[in-house]
A = this chain, B = another copy of it.
Amino acid sequence: MEIDGDADEGRRKIDWAREHTPILARIRERYTEEKPLDGVVIGMAMHVEAKTAVLAELLAEGGAEVGITGCNPLSTHDDVSAALDAVDGVHSYARHGVDRDGYYEALDAVIEHEPDVTVDDGGDLIFRIHEEYPELLDGIAGGCEETTTGVHRLRAMDDDDALRYPVFAVNDTPMKRQFDNVHGTGESSLSSIAMTTNLLFAGKTVVVGGYGHCGRGVAKKADGLGADVTVAEVDPRRALEAHMEGYDVAPMNEAVEDADFIITTTGNRDVVTREAFESMNDGVVLANAGHFDVEINLEQLSEYAVAERDVRDGIREYETPDGRRVNVLAEGRLVNLATPVSLGHPAEVMDQSFGVQALCVERVLDADLAEGVHEVPDGIDRRVAEIKLDALGVEIDELTDEQRDYISSWQHGT
């Protein structure tokens, strides 16, 4: 079944992403020369868009045979899928808007390549193999999982002794969290909000729910644009850290009273609820930068509102009983992914986690790992940082032997 997408257009998108993923470019140099994945079959189920395509293509350039499909029927770009399918060594089965049957048929098509390694975003490929193709399990060297959700499901499976091959939890590495969350989420959330609302941040009061990695990124960059930032937190030390940066700190229900923008980043539910809706300013804009759409309680808002309507693409306005207007972006879903203009994470951020993916694929083939979920070895994470610095042309210092002795004598006792 053919993919109904403009492969030339897809190729252009992939090329753009290739141009701005320096870590993958550096790994490509080695892969092209050494072909470390020669003869390896890799099955992938990920969001098939340009950045992912660069990873799939890279694995093929390393010698692998790659079968790939989507991990969500709505996230596939058909043009990219078509372009990818045209690449030597890559077979793409991803199509936008397939139904449930079509989705699983595509997964099965990938599995029929009999992968040595699986690369997942959400775990659907791993689960399908465990459920429907148990006979293949022994032949699989291992897998990689990209997301929080997938890792969570795999850990539960592991707890039940049901996970039958080793899987790296790529999601949890420092190279992903420290950069993806702070810089990727921070910048792309603010740009998406700006380009959806046509509003300024300068001079505005921006309330940030949560002061973890994402919240720090959003707060710091909103501050950098000229906003006056208020942080709402539940942890006293994080709250104090925010205070020491010069931000206001207040409980959410008080903070919203002055807010022009409210951006949630907690990873928790019910961060903005009925009591908050009751005291917001007219015209306030709400957006969520956390993983799930549970942070702003839209059910309560809808119940509280006397009217609601779409006022702009990606903006739903709720009118309160006393005539104020509360504007919610992207139905409370991830604002850097879900507005009409959003583009998801910037290429450089995916470059870092896909760099980890590529090295983990190699490691899972070489190492003799036990079944179950494994943390990404720190050395791999560190190696990706080194590759990026090298690609950027940034050099750093090395400890001398004397320095290493000095430090370790301090850490471990004289």
Contact = CB atoms under 8 A, between A and B. Distances in A.
A156 B347 contact: no
Nearest to A159: B413
Nearest to A395: B251
A152 B400 contact: no
5 contacts: A183-B226, A202-B244, A236-B385, A270-B400, A341-B341
Contacts of A407: 267-268
A248 to B, nearest CB: 7
Nearest to A15: B311
Contact of A183 (B20, B244, B347, B382): B244
Nearest to A281: B393
Interface string A168-190: 00000011001100111011101
Contacts of A108: none
A244 B20 contact: no
A203 B243 contact: yes
Interface in A214-266: 221, 223-229, 232-237, 239-241, 243-252, 254
Contacts of A234: 396-399, 403
Contacts of A312: 12-13, 16
A26 interface: no
Nearest to A255: B397
A1 interface: no
A225 B225 contact: yes
Contacts of A243: 203, 389, 392, 394
Contacts of A353: none
A258 B225 CA distance: 24
A5 interface: no
Interface in A396-414: 396-400, 402-403, 406-407, 410, 413-414
A92 interface: no
A227 B347 CA distance: 16
A341 B197 CA distance: 12
Given A224-B225, A237-B382, 5 more contacts: A192-B195, A198-B343, A203-B246, A251-B397, A269-B403
Interface in A324-369: 325, 341-344, 346-349
A194 B347 CA distance: 11
A279 interface: no
B267 A410 contact: yes
Contacts of A184: 200
Given A19-B282, A282-B19, A394 B249 contact: yes
A311 B226 contact: no
Given A312-B13, A397-B232, A348 B200 contact: yes
A164 interface: no
B200 A183 contact: yes
A346 B199 contact: yes
A283 interface: yes
Contacts of A406: 268-269, 294
A236 B386 CA distance: 6
